[in-house]
Amino acid sequence: MGARARSAVVAGLRGLWVAVAGIAGSITLFVLSVVSVVLIVAGVGVMTTPWVLGLVRHWANWRRAVAAEWCGVRIPATYRPFPDGIIGQAERCRLLLSDPATWRDLRWLLVDMTAGFVTAVLPAALIVYPVEGYALAAGLWRVFTDGTHVGWWYGFVPVSGQGTALLSALLATALLAAGLYLTPVLLRGHFLLTRYVLAPAAGELEQRVRVLTTTRRDAVDTSAAELRRIERDLHDGAQARLVAVGMDLGTVEALIEKNPAKAKALLAQARQSSAEALTELRDLVRGIHPPVLAERGLGDAVRALALRLPVPTEVEVELAGRAEAPVESAAYFAVSEALANTVKHADADRIWVDITHTDGHLRIAVTDNGRGGAVIEPGGGLSGIERRLATFDGVLAVGSPAGGPTMVTMEIPCVLS
């Protein structure tokens, strides 16, 4: 019962937070969006609309993140990717307005400020409203009535004296008992409504094919670039050093009888070059697939990664097994890039990494207490993480209000063995 009560109170507080933040944020963003779109005809909206719609996407992604974290409701983000390269504001505005996901976001803002507010505030009401019933029974009814006339209504109970005040306490007890069981369900209902509005309906298969086509192309391009990098590193690094070792050994062979001292020096140089070549090969292998990842799994690999960071980092891992090697590799490098972005841009003094597996999804959350303001931009680090995850049908959500904290959530569907 204690655990159920805590769950109900937490759900109620979360519902209240979503309701208050939702109605303020959704109304503000909807008004800004409408005004900005209308001002396109005057030319001003071309500059402001991409910025405003970017905030709308950021707001929707935050709701996706808390829906998955709090209630396990996963809401896919099916935004069309921007083309590679630098694009102008006018083209960005056109691409945003031609994306069906943009109009689903705007429709969701309307729903969120109305039905969404009601469904979010209900869990809080079931926890808070009974307090009024008990207060009336404790004597608060005297403030509203003289004992003969109805001075207050508690629900459907007209309070006119101590007797009816006790009835209000009875009703409050019934509401509280219902709240212990229904509050988490009602909060989940709010997020299910959010998913119903935000998730694509018509043309979902077409959108799915488009996303898969894009991610496949990105995967091929990434693999080709990675192969070119490996070839370049081998050619410029280890290969050059091994060639130098061979030349030194050839010289040693010619000098070993005529000039033993010179031959000894060249042998030492060859040994040093071979050691440096071995180090470069190890670094190259670590960049392809870290040995600790292959031997110990994702959790220990991320812990080893965290130990090398200049910012104190806590890693929590709850995995009952291991995912397939390609999934582990993608997750590892996604976390590595997210941590690198945090260290470089967030100005944080603490980082937390949580790795779990629930409902067939590997979920990784990277949180920092930095300055916030992180967004997914074409060509940016977060965009690269999104493309890497999309290859495995994964998703990325970023919650980063100004002033922080920032939470980068990554999910990849997979099974553990």
Residue 137 confidence (pLDDT): 84
Same-domain status, 189 and 227: no
Same-domain status, 300 and 281: no
Same-domain status, 36 and 173: yes
Residue 236 confidence (pLDDT): 58
Q: 383-410, pLDDT tens digit by residue?
A: 878 877 877 878 888 888 888 788 899 9
Residue 103 confidence (pLDDT): 93
The CA-based angle 198-203-207, given to 5 degrees, is 80
The residue assigned the tokens 């009560």 is 5
Q: Which of 288, 309, 333 is the last residue of a domain?
A: 288
Question: Mean pLDDT, the chain, as a whole number?
Answer: 82
286-310 core/surface letters (b: 16 or more CB in 10 A; e: else): eeebbebbeeebbbebbbebbeeee
Task: Give the rounded percent of residues in the chain with a pLDDT score beyond 70.
Answer: 83
For residue 299, the enclosing domain spans 294-413
The band of 332, judged by pLDDT with boundaries at 50, 70 and 90, is: confident
**Considering the domain boundaries, does residue 39 fall inside one?**
yes
The residue assigned the tokens 């980063």 is 400
Sign of CA dihedral 202, 204, 205, 206: positive
Residue 106 confidence (pLDDT): 95
**Considering the domain boundaries, does residue 305 fall inside one?**
yes
Same-domain status, 404 and 314: yes
Same-domain status, 265 and 315: no
pLDDT surpassing 70 at residue 274:
yes
Residue 294 confidence (pLDDT): 79
CATH at residue 377: 3.30.565.10
Is the CB of residue 308 less than 8 Å from the CB of residue 287? no
Structure tokens at 284: 């190259």
Structure tokens at 386: 């999104």
Tell me the pTM.
Answer: 0.54
Beta-bridge mates of residue 357: 362
How far apart CA 93 and CA 51 sit, in angstroms, is 9
Nearest CA among 35, 79, 83 for reference residue 61:
79
Q: Which of 262, 288, 314 is the last residue of a domain?
A: 288
Helix, coil or strand: residue 21? helix
Residue 266 confidence (pLDDT): 75
Same-domain status, 278 and 298: no
Average pLDDT over residues 198-218: 63
Q: How far is CA 412 from the centre of its chain?
A: 11
Q: 192-204, pLDDT tens digit by residue?
A: 999 999 987 655 5
CA torsion, points 281, 282, 288, 293, in degrees to nearest 10? 160
Same-domain status, 185 and 48: yes
How far apart CA 327 and CA 218 sit, in angstroms, is 16
Helix, coil or strand: residue 64? helix
Q: 222-247, pLDDT tens digit by residue?
A: 555 655 655 665 655 566 666 677 77
**Considering the domain boundaries, does residue 213 fall inside one?**
no
Beta-bridge mates of residue 366: 353, 408
Same-domain status, 157 and 27: yes
Helix, coil or strand: residue 339? helix
Structure tokens at 178: 């219902």
Q: 149-179, pLDDT tens digit by residue?
A: 667 787 788 887 788 888 888 988 888 888 8
Residue 207 confidence (pLDDT): 60
Residue 363 confidence (pLDDT): 92
Q: Which of 269, 288, 307 is the last residue of a domain?
A: 288
pLDDT surpassing 70 at residue 57:
yes
The band of 62, judged by pLDDT with boundaries at 50, 70 and 90, is: very high
The residue assigned the tokens 């500059």 is 47
Least confident of 86-90, 343-347, 378-382: 378-382
The burial class, CB within 10 Å (0-12 / 13-18 / 19+), for 163 is exposed
Largest CA distance in the chain: 124
pLDDT surpassing 70 at residue 107:
yes
Same-domain status, 379 and 278: no
The band of 114, judged by pLDDT with boundaries at 50, 70 and 90, is: very high
DSSP calls for 135-157: HHHTTGGGGT--SSS--EEETTE
Same-domain status, 72 and 155: yes
How far apart CA 147 and CA 205 sit, in angstroms, is 66
How far apart CA 28 and CA 125 sit, in angstroms, is 24
The residue assigned the tokens 């939702």 is 22
Domain count, the chain: 3
Same-domain status, 45 and 184: yes
Average pLDDT over residues 51-71: 92
**What does the H/E/C string look like for 235-293?**
HHHHHHHHHHHHHHHHHHHHHCCCCHHHHHHHHHHHHHHHHHHHHHHHHHHHHHCCHHH
pLDDT surpassing 90 at residue 4:
no
Highest mean pLDDT among 20-24, 164-168, 374-378: 20-24
How distant, in Å, are the alpha carbons of 70, 78, 118 from that of 214? 31, 12, 38
pLDDT surpassing 90 at residue 355:
yes
Same-domain status, 158 and 25: yes
Strands 351-358 and 313-318: parallel
Residues 6+ apart with CB under 8 A from 122: 15, 186
